[in-house]
Amino acid sequence: MSVIDSDQGARRVAAAPEEVWDEKALQSSQRKNLLTVMGWRAVLLVAFVGAWQATSGPVIDPFYVSTPSDIATRLWEWLRDGTVATHLYATLQATLMGFVIGGVVGIGVGFFLGRSPLVARVVDPYIIAIYSLPKVALAPLFILWFGIGMTSKVVLAATIVFFLVFYNTYAGVRAVDRDLVDVVRLMGGTRRDILRRVVLPSSATWIFNGLKISVPYALIGAVVGELTASDRGIGFVLKRASGTFDTAGVFASLVILMVVATILNQMVVYGERYVDRWRSTPT
């Protein structure tokens, strides 16, 4: 080994601890930033709830806004008597089934039309016409077709999710870099290779954006169906509380829906991170 090679190797060894130190410092800084953000979020939540509790009564009539303490009491009562478990199960079932069905069909149709420009131009006006319809207006029609059971809620949620995922998938497929496609073709790649190694990785971000956007809308579709006609579900509980002027019950139902929507959205975010790791792994 020459003196020059030995010197370069020594420099690399000396630089290695510095790189490790920089990475640890970056991770420590990111953790501190995360803790700071979480801390301020907690402060904001406590301040909001405290202000709500303090102003409800002396400033605002509790009939209209209730109080956080009454809402917490109502939630505890529902947890103890099984109301939350029974009705939340029905809502989650309709939401998840609608999300999965609408997402799978939306991705499939988006890929098909994205790879078939002629078919896309033919059906485009019909898709736009159906998409332009307010989806909430379809709830009575679906109830007429499928009854007040689970099916009508699943179909409504799936319809809403389908269009959101479809348009994002279609846009992602159409935005694929054609130079990459040509390179794979020159290397002897088949249509399957192009789909697997170029189209899917390139459009994954678009697809997950559509999925993240559609999560709360899947929940909205299920709840709207329950509000329209149902005998179970959080939407049914919300409607019953509103009909009996139970303000605490209405807010408790809304709190449950917000928590569920947040959890479902985080699940999609974790799924996207997993796929990003898979995309970055060399094959």
Determine the 3-state secondary structure of 143 from DSSP: helix
Cα–Cα distance between 269 and 242 in angstroms, integer? 33
Distance, in Å, from the CA atom of 82 to the CA atom of 248, rounded to the nearest integer, reads: 17
Q: List C-alpha distances in Å: 273 to 176, 205, 279, 280.
A: 21, 10, 10, 11
Compute the distance between CA of residue 279 and CA of residue 276 in angstroms, rounded to an integer: 5
Q: Read off the pLDDT of each residue in 160-182 and give the average, rounded to a whole number.
A: 82
Q: Band of the pLDDT at 10, cuts 50, 70, 90?
A: very low
| HSE-up of residue 48 (Cα within 13 Å, Cβ side) | 6
Q: What is the pLDDT of residues 164-174, one digit of tens each?
A: 999 888 888 88
> Which segment of 62-76, 183-197, 241-255 scores lowest on mean pLDDT?
183-197
Q: Which residues contact 240 (CB under 8 A, 6 or more apart)?
A: 246, 249
Least confident of 67-81, 103-117, 180-194, 252-266: 180-194
| CA separation for the pair 283, 281 (Å, rounded) | 6
Q: pLDDT by residue (tens digit) across 63-120?
A: 888 889 999 999 999 999 888 899 999 999 999 999 999 999 999 998 888 878 888 8
CATH number among 3.40.50.280, 2.102.10.10, 1.10.3720.10, 3.40.50.1950, domain 66-280: 1.10.3720.10
As a whole number of angstroms, the distance between CA 170 and CA 76 comes to 45
Can you say whether residue 122 is alpha, beta or left, with left for phi > 0 and alpha for psi between -120 and 50 degrees? Answer: alpha
User: What DSSP string describes 186-217?
Assistant: HTT--HHHHIIIIIHHHHHHHHHHHHHHHHHH
